[in-house]
Amino acid sequence: MPIIIAADNEFHLSHEEEDKLNQFKAISDFPDEDLSLIIRLLRNHSWNLEAALSRYFDGNWRENMGSVITPSQNNPFIDVSFPEPVTNTLPLSPQMTTATTRNNFNTTDPNISTNYNDINNTSFFRTKRLIPSIPIVNRLPADFKSKFQLVGLTKGNVPYYTTATTTYNNSQNIFYLLFLFIPQSIFKIVSFLWSVLSKLFNNGSATIVNKPKIFRLPKHPTQNTNPIKLSQVLISNDTGTLNTTLMKQKLTKLNDLLGNIDNNRDYNDRIPFNDMLDICEKEFKFLLVILLGDLDMESRDTNKFDTNSQKFLSHVLLDDGVMKILHDYKDDLLVYMGSVTEIEPWLVARNLNVKYTPECFMIGNVLNSNNSVNGTLRLSVLSKLKITSPRRLQNSLKLVFDRYNAELVVGRNEMEELKMSREIKQLQEQAYQESLLKDQLKEEAKQLKLQEAKQKQMEEINRLNQLKIKETYKSLKWLSNCINIFKDELSKVSMNQESHDCKKKKLATLQFRTSKGTRFIKKFDEATSLYSIYINIGCHLFLQTDSLNIDSWKQSILDKIKKLKSDESLLCFKGAASMVGGENIDVAELETLVQEELMKFKNIEGQNRLNRDIKNNQSFELEFNFELVSPFPRYQVPTEKTVTVKEIPQLWPNGSLLIEEIINEEETSEEGSEYDEEE
């Protein structure tokens, strides 16, 4: 017996109660800390799983649970729904007890089970009187077909079977066999003498009365399957055809009741008995079990053919009144019909203690106090129907339907309510899970948006940082070119070679005019490339000066360094305050200062293209935001490194060039949008 310990309590359960507890756990999924309360709840409902589940899903099942007796004080014959009766303090004599028992508790109802050992318990007696005690229907073993075998003996094949309730033991006690043999021998001798005397007295009679033959249940089934051929069983003995059109209609109704569609089809698609019991139990339907004898047409002319079963089918079951009652309850009725020559119907007959054929039983899932304290829902034999005549069968059916139909309807409604409550709970759980999923999706979408915004912000920061690096490095490159021009001019002045070079080399004299109208003239060697001219003019624009004086050029460089240092959009000269503070700095120090700043950006870690270009210092090219244009005729000077000034007739030996700024279209559109917003 299983022992369950929960909440410092010890519960002794049967295997059936343990199965009910496991089913309750699978359906309700209650927490483990409520195990002791759940066991008490099931005990309070007599281990009725449906009623306990209905009480559990009501939500207030914990109320009044504290008053339930503890397992240590548990008495299976005490009902917690009624108070314990007050007993007399004075002991009663045995005569008084016997008289009281006989006067107060005597009953003649065969369906009422009374245990006189529990008379002192009023609640138990009340419950036992209200709930009938009727036979219980057991299911067939799941492997009954595999257990049914044929054992070969010398005198023929004798079937050997084993079921859940019947076992055979070949090793019987020899004394027990002797005591069995003596009465059987005496009975056989008496039977033989009686038969001899009967024949002697009947020989002088003029007529012999034919007694009805009784067909007993065979000792063993003869076939695995023996379908009942209704169309042949109901054949008239005279014409060999179906009696009338009315008989055909009745046969159609019977087939419809049994689930057959084709009247000529054999009744071999019968639902297994255990499956019908499951449907009967779960859906609270009536189950009509019809057990017939041997109706095999091959044995029609032998004594094995059950004529009583044939007459029952044709005259009783197919009676208009009987068929009307069965069809009135068709939606709530299952019919199981089979010949006891088959394995399954034979086992069903053994289970129902059938001795003769035909027999009819009505089975249902009702409250039964058999082997139960307070009664529980069980598959029970509601009635053994009387089938000797159509009238008696009708009365038996009406009695069963009138008595148990209301109870089955209540059970069916409770089942529907329980099913509906489960569906509602499932829908609520589904809606809750969907709500959680929606919230989770919203949270994920929110986190995704935040991540995308953060990523965009980081990309924007990286873009601005790269733009700062690019602008800073470009400014340093322009500043480096300005220092190189300053060094070239200093070298020319210090060596006093300007006049000497002019005499030896030919120079191109070019006049430049800015967009503001400022004019200045510069001379270039004939080998000077057009790209170098652009660099030279770009340095003037970068330093914002048109002076050709060396000191003025130096001062412009110092002013530009200070301006770059104070510009927050650039990253250079942030730690060079002491070096740019004075004006006595020489060109070497300026060059060193600029080169150090350039080296800082060459050492920047990164894998982007700009950093790689800065590190390589080869593919990075200065961009010119201006163009050199010769007005008459209009000619735009290209930025070619391989073309010299001498090769351009518009520039050699003299030329006039306009410095035209290149206006970026994106900047123009941004300025226009800002102007519109201001308006």
pLDDT digits (tens, 9 = 90+) for 140-169: 888 777 766 543 323 333 333 333 334 334
Q: Which DSSP symbol is given to 32?
A: G
SS (HEC) of 610-669: HHHHHHHCCCCCCCCCEEEEECCCCEECCCCCCCEHHHCCCCCCEEEEEEEECCCHHHHH
Residue 23 has pLDDT above 60, yes or no: yes
Beta bridge pairs of residue 168: none
Residue 550 has pLDDT above 90, yes or no: no
Non-local (6+) Cβ contacts of 437 within 8 A are none
Residue with tokens 């006595």: 584
Label residue 43 by pLDDT band (50, 70, 90). Answer: confident
pLDDT digits (tens, 9 = 90+) for 172-181: 456 555 666 6
Label residue 73 by pLDDT band (50, 70, 90). Answer: very low
Residue 433 has pLDDT above 90, yes or no: yes
Angle at which helices 390-495 and 273-283 pack, to 10 degrees? 80
Residue 309: CB atoms within 10 A of its CB come to 24
pLDDT of residue 430: 92
Label residue 50 by pLDDT band (50, 70, 90). Answer: confident
Residue 207 has pLDDT above 80, yes or no: no
The alpha carbon dihedral of 70, 76, 77, 81 has a sign of positive
Q: Which domains does the chain have, with CATH numbers?
A: 3-86+109-130 (no CATH), 215-388 (3.40.30), 458-678 (no CATH)
466-477 burial code (b ≥16 CB/10 A, e <16): eebbbbbbbbbb
Q: Which DSSP symbol is given to 136?
A: B
pLDDT of residue 170: 42
pLDDT of residue 13: 83
Written as one letter, the residue type at 113 is: S
Sheet holding 654-661, edge to edge: 519-525, 507-513, 654-661, 626-630, 635-636
Which range, 294-298, 506-510, 585-589, is most confident? Answer: 506-510
Non-local (6+) Cβ contacts of 418 within 8 A are 50, 53, 54, 57
116 compared with 24, residue with greater pLDDT: 24
Non-local (6+) Cβ contacts of 446 within 8 A are none
Q: How far apart are CA 227 and CA 339, in angstroms?
A: 8
pLDDT of residue 437: 94
295, 231 Cβ separation under 8 angstroms: no
Q: What is the mean pLDDT of residues 59-87?
A: 45
Vertex 72 angle, CA 66 and 78, to 5°: 70
pLDDT of residue 301: 64
pLDDT of residue 90: 31
Residue 48 has pLDDT above 70, yes or no: yes
Which range, 32-46, 211-225, 254-268, is most confident? Answer: 32-46
Q: How far apart are CA 322 and CA 201, in angstroms?
A: 43
The alpha carbon dihedral of 350, 354, 355, 357 has a sign of negative
Mapped onto helix, strand or coil, the DSSP state of residue 13 is coil
pLDDT of residue 606: 45
pLDDT of residue 443: 94
Residue 95 has pLDDT above 60, yes or no: no
pLDDT of residue 436: 93
539 compared with 177, residue with greater pLDDT: 539
340, 357 Cβ separation under 8 angstroms: yes
pLDDT of residue 179: 62
120 compared with 638, residue with greater pLDDT: 638
What is the pLDDT of the chain when averaged over all its residues?
Answer: 73
578 compared with 46, residue with greater pLDDT: 46
Mapped onto helix, strand or coil, the DSSP state of residue 575 is coil
Q: How far apart are CA 234 and CA 251, in angstroms?
A: 9
Label residue 225 by pLDDT band (50, 70, 90). Answer: low
* CA distances to 566, 594, 617 from 573, in Å: 9, 9, 20
* pTM of full prediction above 0.85: no
pLDDT of residue 176: 59
Q: How far apart are CA 532 and CA 524, in angstroms?
A: 10
* Burial class of 535 by CB neighbour count within 10 A (0 to 12, 13 to 18, 19+): buried
Residue 518 has pLDDT above 50, yes or no: yes
Express as a percent the part of the chain with pLDDT over 70. Answer: 67
Residue 549 has pLDDT above 80, yes or no: no
pLDDT digits (tens, 9 = 90+) for 409-422: 998 898 889 889 99
Label residue 452 by pLDDT band (50, 70, 90). Answer: very high
Written as one letter, the residue type at 667 is: E
pLDDT of residue 428: 93
pLDDT of residue 575: 67
Residue 89 has pLDDT above 50, yes or no: no
Residue 253 has pLDDT above 80, yes or no: no
pLDDT of residue 615: 52
CA terminus-to-terminus distance, the chain: 94
pLDDT digits (tens, 9 = 90+) for 592-603: 888 887 887 765
What backbone torsions phi and psi does residue 314 show, to the nearest 5 degrees?
-80, -35
* CA distances to 77, 360, 407 from 86, in Å: 16, 47, 34
pLDDT of residue 456: 92
Q: What is the mean pLDDT of residues 103-112?
A: 36
Bridge-based pairing of strands 359-368 and 376-384 is antiparallel
pLDDT digits (tens, 9 = 90+) for 643-659: 888 888 888 888 888 88
Q: How far apart are CA 659 and CA 648, in angstroms?
A: 17
H/E segment holding residue 442: helix 390-495
Which range, 142-151, 374-383, 544-553, 601-610, is most confident? Answer: 374-383
477: nearest Cα among 322, 293, 601, 314: 601
Q: What is the mean pLDDT of residues 275-297?
A: 88
Q: How far apart are CA 585 and CA 548, in angstroms?
A: 20
110, 117 Cβ separation under 8 angstroms: no
pLDDT of residue 294: 82
What backbone torsions phi and psi does residue 594 show, to the nearest 5 degrees?
-70, -40
User: Maximum CA pair distance of the chain?
Assistant: 180
